[in-house]
Structure 1
Amino acid sequence: MATLLHLDSAVFPQDSASRAITAAFVETWREQHPGGQVVYRDLAADPLPHLDATAVSAGADDALRSKLAAELAGADAVLIGAPMYNFSIPSTLKAWLDQVIIVGHNVGADSPVTGTPVTVVASRGGSYAPGTPREEFEFVQNYLEKVLTGMFGVEVDFIVPELTLAHSKPEMAELIPLADASRAQAFTDATEKAKALAARLAA
């Protein structure tokens, strides 16, 4: 029985591209794993405390950090909704990372989560793709790929719906067709990646 750890971090519960796409991923996952388990954390609705000196000193002996690390270690796959806020990840997601990364417990070559597949839905209001004017401002994929592989040795894959603000910003109106295409592709990617991952874990 496979377990999926699902994290959402978008501030708004409705009209969130990252939440809609992670939900589509989870729906397909459940179809493929009717007897499986999904462990869900809504980091916006139920934010974790920022890391403090007491928690750092306690490490894996801290009750919350130990629980979060156990959730991660117990997952066969991880799904993260990570919208871009001010060119980076939401602070609530950063708080989860700070709490769950425990040096001497789950970091390094012997990490219990090494090789775990992690799918990140990295939505963003504009375009930060290679070759675009704001390419150098992309700190969501760059950061998460580095921290997750560097600390845990996991396999990171991205789904990237872009131009999510096109429908609400008059100055972006001409980009609506590109935004719609990107959103549609993201939903297709979510379904296909969930199916492929389910098949991989069932093999």
Structure 2
Amino acid sequence: MTKILRIDASIRADGSVTRSVADTLQRELVERLGDATVATREIGMTPLPASAWAGAVFGPHTPAEQRTPEQQEGIALATALADELLAADAYVFALPFYNFGVSQHFKAYVDILLTEPRFAPGQPQLIAGRPAQLIIARGGGYGPGTPRHGWDHGTAWYQRVLTDILGLDVETTEVELTLADVTPAMESLREMAAENLAQGHVRAKQNAGRLAERLEV
């Protein structure tokens, strides 16, 4: 049975574009595969503990009998995150773009994961080559010719971590202008935003189809 791991980092339960597009992709993928199971790690609505990273960093260098509760928690969490990744055949990362950068919740996820010996820098990439879907939503427009071209300091980092550090084979779906409907200054962009969102859902379904074909081989 195919196992999919989904990571959601949006802080919004309702109205989240990354969740919505990921839902479209997941429905299509499960329908095509038939026997797939999806495990979800919710880090947006249920953030990882703030103390976990320090605990995971320093805990392994502290004798087991002297470890603080935070260190024990950090080590256990790093192990759990690593186990989840290793158990999956493919991945869906639904990651928003906040304040011109990455989600703090996904950054914490990565920081904790990389303390785990199996995923530590310099170790063999144990999940290298496995397929991953990266879904990104940005409230404004950041492409060439826009006032904030060059302000996207998140997308490249997401891709760098997933491809170069974890070694995943990543396909990206990007949606922009997601704040047009609630931002008066963006009123003229609402039609474009709606089209962009619709295209994002179409791409998600297409990507799910290709991923299903790959997983069925």
Instruction: Please tell me the TM-score bracket, short chain as reference.
Output: over 0.9
Other-structure match for 1:33: 33
1:8 paired with 2:22, answer: no
Other-structure match for 1:19: 19
Other-structure match for 1:140: 154
Other-structure match for 1:89: 102
Q: Is the 1:82–1:140 Cα contact (8 Å) retained in structure 2?
A: no
Stretches of 4+ moved more than 4 A in 1?
A: none
Other-structure match for 1:125: 139
| Cα offset, 1:109, TM superposition | 6.5
Q: Is the 2:24–2:201 Cα contact (8 Å) retained in structure 1?
A: yes
- Mapped to 2, the partners of 1:36 and 1:108 lie a distance apart of 32
Task: Count the aligned residue pairs.
Answer: 202
Q: Which SS does the other structure have where 1:45 is aligned?
A: coil
Return the match for 2:189 from 172, 175, 183: 175
Q: Which SS does the other structure have where 1:120 is aligned?
A: strand
Other-structure match for 2:42: 42
Deviation readout 1:82-103 (Å, 9 max, x if unpaired): 1111011221111111112246
| Cα offset, 1:64, TM superposition | 1.1
Other-structure match for 1:116: 130
Distance 1:176 1:159, change over 3 A: same
Q: Is the 2:142–2:152 Cα contact (8 Å) retained in structure 1?
A: yes
- For structure 2, list consecutive stretches of 5 or more residues without a partner in the other structure: 61-71
- Mapped to 1, the partners of 2:53 and 2:189 lie a distance apart of 43
Question: Over aligned residues, Cα RMSD in angstroms?
Answer: 1.7
Normalised by the size of structure 2, how large is the TM-score?
Answer: 0.87
- Mapped to 2, the partners of 1:164 and 1:76 lie a distance apart of 31
- Mapped to 1, the partners of 2:85 and 2:166 lie a distance apart of 10
| Cα offset, 1:128, TM superposition | 1.2
Q: Is the 1:65–1:99 Cα contact (8 Å) retained in structure 2?
A: yes
1:105 paired with 2:118, answer: yes
Q: Does 13-22 or 44-53 show the bigger shift?
A: 44-53
Distance 1:130 1:100, change over 3 A: farther
| Cα offset, 1:34, TM superposition | 2.2
Distance 1:53 1:8, change over 3 A: closer
Rg (Cα) greater in structure:
2
Q: Is the 1:5–1:72 Cα contact (8 Å) retained in structure 2?
A: yes
Distance 1:45 1:143, change over 3 A: same
Quote the sequence identity (%). 32
- For structure 1, list consecutive stretches of 5 or more residues without a partner in the other structure: none
